Structure 1
Amino acid sequence: MERALQNMEHVPERQRLVRKLESITDLTEEERQALMDLPVILREFDAGHDIVRSGDHPQSCCLILTGFVCRYMLLPDGRRQIVAFHPPGDIPDLQSLHLKTMDHSVAAMARTTTAFIPHENLQRMTQRFPGLLHAFWRETLIDASVFRAWMVALGRRTAHERVAHLLCEMTLRFAAVGLAEGMTYQMPVTQNDIADALGLSNVHVNRVLQDLRRDELIVWRRNTITVLQWGALKDLAAFDPTYLHIRNLPGLLQ
């Protein structure tokens, strides 16, 4: 279910975009203010509802304010491949600014609040502030870098390595936008969602998570994930955070 919300000019969560971009590049005070001044239309989506569908021709991009979303593709027989997860602060359909037809769908995985930013306003802002144009271009390049890392995981990593690698990645991405308390964060996904993202069966994902819990690497209760042994989880995944290009990571997370 989709609901329109009152268009509030000073939604605190709008700082997520500023924080996300500042995790990968420098912004001036004028650029920060330009991001905060972008006109938006707020909408709320229930879990399982598509925010934008394959074949759509969007006239705006959606900034995730709260909740959690995925990008996915469907095969003709209905099988789903999740190709990306996105925490708040991300704009999962940024490519629609230049690629006018969506070739995949974006769906809410929990109740999610989005800020729809008209393309014309984004274009006007980036023309006025070239630094923001470069920031969004950098974000697009990093998105491609994440895709490459996921491709390697699907093609070459074991099941345990895939799950561990995903958990390491999401720990850093939630931390980058201030949504991780220490090593704990909220990621509302099911075992089936993990299976659809990592090319595994639901049963296989269950066994891997049991092993990670048994070895006291993680605690996963409902939607709350806590990494208990970052070094061991990172070693299991052979995780190198370089591909995320996040600046100023705490020493513990290097």
Structure 2
Amino acid sequence: MELTDEEKKTLENAARQRITIRKGKDIISEGQKPDEVYLIEEGWACRYKLLENGEHHIMAYLIPGDLCDLHTTILDQMDHSIRTITPLKAAVYSANEISNLMAKNVRLARALTWSTMVDEAILREWLVNAGSRAADKRLAHFFCEMLIRSRAAGLSQDNSFEFPITQAELGESMGLTEVHINRVLQRLRGEGLIATDNKRLVILDWVRLKAFAQFNPNYLHCQIEPCDA
């Protein structure tokens, strides 16, 4: 849902403060009582669970324009952690500030609720991805998703976008070993579907990648479609 310039200004002015967080640091950790909501302005973060064996499982990636869980302040404690993948800048809102925004501006309330619903839709698609798609299609599907999300946030250039995720982090989110991730990446590169360039991912053939991944963007609920090149 597209906000007007005035609505964007209202959201910007409502922030309690703006913070900078270094790479690899938790914004909030599992078990903590959440009392603030973060809107990412620059950088990437991820939602993850810490497993008993010390490994991490990443459940979502957050990019500029994403909220770090709109309704977490309702909870007694966090059931997952949010960690920065890159150095990150975020606007910080109190629960009261968010409630006031939603009470006073119907369109902003609708936009914030829409954002939460899209987050849930992405999680559902990730469950299908992990349970029903082979490793190469799983990764290709994820790349299609991130291109559209990046374009919607105004972060893409042609069919390329910032992609600071390591192979280890990809493995943590795709349920695959780092070795398996490396093999799949080599295959997708070898078939002329993707390329990487200095922490950017380039979709070389959107039509073929979309068909290969059996990607239907309806769960992202936006009208943006990448170039056919």
**TM-score bracket, shorter-length normalisation:** over 0.9
Q: Which residue of 2 aligns with 1:137?
A: 113
Distance change in 2, residues 1:61/1:75 (3 Å): same
Matched-pair contact (CA < 8 Å) for 2:31–2:79: yes
Q: Which residue of 1 aligns with 2:227?
A: 252
Question: 1:112-159 CA deviation, whole Å, 9 max, x = no partner?
Answer: 111111111111111111222222111111111100100001001000
Partners of 1:35 and 1:92 in 2: CA distance: 15
Matched letter for residue 58 of structure 1 = P
Out of 42-51 and 169-178, give the one that drifted further: 42-51
Question: 1:149-202 CA deviation, whole Å, 9 max, x = no partner?
Answer: 000010010000110000000000010011000111111110010000000010
Distance change in 2, residues 1:102/1:246 (3 Å): same
Q: Which residue of 1 aligns with 2:43?
A: 67
Out of 36-45 and 48-57, give the one that drifted further: 36-45
Q: Secondary structure at the match of 1:219?
A: strand
Matched-pair contact (CA < 8 Å) for 2:34–2:75: no
Q: Which residue of 1 aligns with 2:170?
A: 194
Percent identical across equivalent pairs?
Answer: 35
1:226 to 181, 185, 202: 202
Out of 40-49 and 167-176, give the one that drifted further: 40-49
Partners of 2:40 and 2:161 in 1: CA distance: 16
Q: Secondary structure at the match of 1:166?
A: helix
1:211 equivalenced with 2:190 (yes/no): no
Partners of 2:101 and 2:202 in 1: CA distance: 39
Instruction: Name structure 1 gaps, 5 residues minimum.
Output: 1-20
Partners of 1:227 and 1:220 in 2: CA distance: 9
Partners of 2:64 and 2:111 in 1: CA distance: 17
Partners of 1:102 and 1:210 in 2: CA distance: 37
Partners of 2:110 and 2:94 in 1: CA distance: 19
Cα displacement (A) at 1:30: 4.9
2:67 to 69, 74, 91: 91
Cα displacement (A) at 1:229: 0.4
Partners of 1:186 and 1:33 in 2: CA distance: 26
Q: Which residue of 2 aligns with 1:48?
A: 24
Partners of 2:87 and 2:221 in 1: CA distance: 29
1:165 equivalenced with 2:165 (yes/no): no
1:153 to 129, 144, 147: 129
Partners of 1:70 and 1:47 in 2: CA distance: 11
Distance change in 2, residues 1:183/1:29 (3 Å): closer
Cα displacement (A) at 1:204: 0.4
Matched-pair contact (CA < 8 Å) for 1:154–1:162: yes
Aligned residues: 228
TM-score normalized by structure 1? 0.85
Partners of 1:165 and 1:171 in 2: CA distance: 10
Distance change in 2, residues 1:76/1:31 (3 Å): same
Q: Which residue of 2 aligns with 1:238?
A: 214
Partners of 2:160 and 2:227 in 1: CA distance: 14
Partners of 2:89 and 2:148 in 1: CA distance: 22
Partners of 1:250 and 1:215 in 2: CA distance: 22
Matched-pair contact (CA < 8 Å) for 1:68–1:86: yes
Cα displacement (A) at 1:98: 2.6
